[in-house]
Amino acid sequence: MYKFSANLGLLWNEFSQIDAIYKSKEYGFDAVEFQFPYQFDSKDIKKALDEVNLPVMGINTIKGNIEEGDNGLLAVPTRISEARDAIIQAFEYAKVIKSKNIHAMAGVTDLSTKSLVTFIDNLKFAKDLLKDNGIGLVIEPLNLKDNPGYFLTKVEQAREICELVGSDTVKIMFDFYHVQINQGNVVKRFKDHLPFIGHVQIASVQDRAEPDSGELDYSYIIPEIYKAGYKSIVGAEYKPKATTEAGLTWMKNFKNN
């Protein structure tokens, strides 16, 4: 049976993150994942997770100063100290809630060697911090339509970074929405990079809504990635067209097959 994680950065936004955890359990999700849960005490989040017995697939490092255009910090050469503070913050939070992964956000910067070296050095710092704690690192290529100037945009680029840092520790977050917009050929690209993939996310293309319409046919894609050898949970990271509950027919269809 296919398993899905509710991304509480986008689902049940009308509720607090804590109330959204209970909603995720009520409506049949197998796990949750967060974007930026830091406004809530990690112990309160953990209490709710324990009550519903749902694992956490991941949290993000902070974006930085959003008003100034920040979208992550780890590849920005002038922000190394802040980037490492963000890594430590995510690590301390992830330890408490037992998150399986930390999404290390690269940020807006040029494609220079200096940016690449900064990203790799910060990922190595994170790798050392996470060592022996059972928490993985993931990096995610984001599409340039929604994330202009983002450093990491291609799956192949992410694979090279994984290899440079150590692919046993850092993996790719393969979001079919972002990959389709930036590159296309998503199933082949997924299969070609499967050993490097640490987590999967889905949404419709182009509107990033429920994964039951648009350019990608997930009724084909999801069985195909499991056949290829993907064994983990699929993250539902989309913007509901109406209420989250009203749009969950897509998941019921998968669970009933």
- Residue 33 sits in a domain whose CATH number is 3.20.20.150
Cα 118 from chain centre: 21
Average pLDDT over residues 119-125: 97
> Which DSSP symbol is given to 79?
G
SS3 63: coil
210 tagged catalytic = no
CA distance 2 to 92: 30
82 tagged catalytic = no
Average pLDDT over residues 107-135: 95
Full domain range(s) for residue 245: 4-255
Residue 202's beta-bridge partner residues? 236
Greater model confidence, 166 or 141: 141
* Whole-Å CA distances, 218 to 2, 42, 107, 202, 223: 12, 33, 29, 8, 8
CB atoms within 10 A of CB 75: 31
Which residue of the set 33, 140, 156, 245 is catalytic?
140
CB atoms within 10 A of CB 205: 21
Measured CA angle at 199 (ends 128, 129), to 5 deg: 10
pLDDT at position 116, please? 98
CB atoms within 10 A of CB 168: 9
List pLDDT tens digits, range 22-70. 999 999 999 999 999 999 999 999 999 999 999 999 999 999 999 999 9
Question: In this structure, what is the dihedral angle of CA atoms 175, 232, 185, 188, given to the nearest 10 degrees?
Answer: 150
Mean pLDDT, the chain, as a whole number?
95
Contact between residue 216 and residue 205 where contact means Cβ atoms under 8 Å apart: yes
Number of domains in the chain: 1
Which residue of the set 14, 163, 237, 245 is catalytic?
237
List pLDDT tens digits, range 85-98. 999 999 999 999 99
Asked whether the predicted pLDDT for residue 201 surpasses 90, the reply is yes
CA distance 23 to 18: 9
Asked whether the predicted pLDDT for residue 220 surpasses 70, the reply is yes
pLDDT at position 190, please? 98
Q: What is the pTM of this model?
A: 0.96
